[in-house]
Amino acid sequence: MAGRSYHHGDLRTALLDAAESLVRERGAEGWSLREVSAGIGVSPSAAYHHFESRDALVRTLSWRVLAGLGEHLSRVAGRARGQRADPQARLIAVGRGYVRWTLRDPSVASLVFGAHRGEPETPVSPHPHDVLAEELDRLVEAGGLPASSRPGAEFVLWSAMHGLAALLGDGLMCLDSPRDVDGQTERLIRAVLTGLAAEPARSADRPRARSAHTERLAKRKS
């Protein structure tokens, strides 16, 4: 790729693409900004015009991948069957999409979950958290989850989804096939939603979970 002429914006995208490829090959830590630059045939000084450091490139890449995950989860939810047939179908699709994505791209997933420091240059949209929250709101509207159980339910569901993905990815749990992974994910999501629906209506003593993303949302609303 040496000698290629980049238009404004093209080099930045090319650097991110090259870094993502290196993450898949070597993991989040096994490469340098110099290697990223050399891989697309430009000097390190050209890369520094777009990213002040390797950490800055990693952060930006993590936000880009996170937005891609949000788009993926939104698509799989949209392809699920309608709420009348099975009100939980869309959330099961989100759970499957999350677990499949994490297992299919473990190095990139590790990068995303480990690099969330500082503010994104532009808001991540759609954010995976927002996709999950929206689907839980749909479930409440469809009568599949009591409104009293809704606050904080996305953190409960996320804990379950991410826990399953981590156990499988680390080899602490084994399943025989992708179909079994989907089946285990469905069983988990249905069990969590059943448990949420059975909670007592009183919610004053429930933990108030939060994340960097929800804190940013709260600041924007205040």
The b/e string for 68-94 (b: 16+ C-beta within 10 A; e otherwise) is: bbbebbbebbeebeebeeebbbbbbbb
- pLDDT > 50? residue 49: yes
126-159 pLDDT tens trace: 999 999 999 999 999 999 999 999 999 999 999 9
The domains found in the chain, sorted by start residue, are 7-52 (1.10.10.60), 65-221 (1.10.357.10)
Q: Is the pLDDT score of 116 beyond 80?
A: no
Give the pLDDT score at 163.
97
Handedness of CA 34, 37, 38, 39 (dihedral sign): positive
Question: How many helices (H) and strands (E) are present in the chain, helices listed first?
Answer: 10, 0
Report the sign of the C-alpha dihedral through residues 67, 73, 75, 77, in that order: negative
In the chain, the percentage of residues whose pLDDT exceeds 70 is 92
